[in-house]
Structure 1
Amino acid sequence: MNKTSDSLNSSASPESGATDSLWQPSWWQWLISALSGTVETEKQIAWLKKHNEEMRKYNERLRKSNEEFAKNNEVLKQSGNDLRSENERLAELLSKIDASFSKHGINLPLASKPKQP
């Protein structure tokens, strides 16, 4: 019989007088298994680092985009305020014109007024 099958068939333990040579294959298997786990862990760490860098860049793009949207929002608010002020000014002028026409007896056909938002 070959020595490998003898070692597999017999119970290898320190009490049965097993030598260090019988324990080495399991120790090497453990080492290979541990190193394989280390390699897999290193792969996962590398993937996580790459993923984190991608997320950092994505977050930076989102931050810049949000800043741009905030600026545009301010511009739009100001435009809305400007339009509101202009509408109020025009409504006041129209009221003055209407009062002046009424005072002087000028009658114009009534125009439909646009609805205010």
Structure 2
Amino acid sequence: MMKQFYLFYFALNLLLAAGCTSGGKQDEQVAREICDCMQPLYESYTSIKDAREDNDTESLQRFVEEMEAVNDEVSACANRIQERYGALEGEREERVKAAMQNVCPEIIATLNEAENALVQ
């Protein structure tokens, strides 16, 4: 199961590598697209968290089986965003991250929680 979490972490970082060419509305558009890409990760992490709290081993096994497909989906989505907008760097990275906090705060909070759980 740790392999799936590392894939999850990789996909999250790949998404955050997507960027844009100017500020303002385009930052918000990139943030929306990244949030859309991250939705399956958010749902997967929420499901695994609930299953762990309930000690539901059957659901945990389903999660492991589904996680690889989710990671593939997220990676493909992230690649499309990066092709469209280029790499995110410096000030642009900060603007897009700030826009993401406004566009999908619950997704960002949950995925930050997942990332922190992986680091520990």
- TM-score norm. by structure 1 comes to 0.25
Structure number with higher relative contact order (C-alpha < 8 Å, ≥ 6 residues apart) = 2
Rg larger in structure: 1
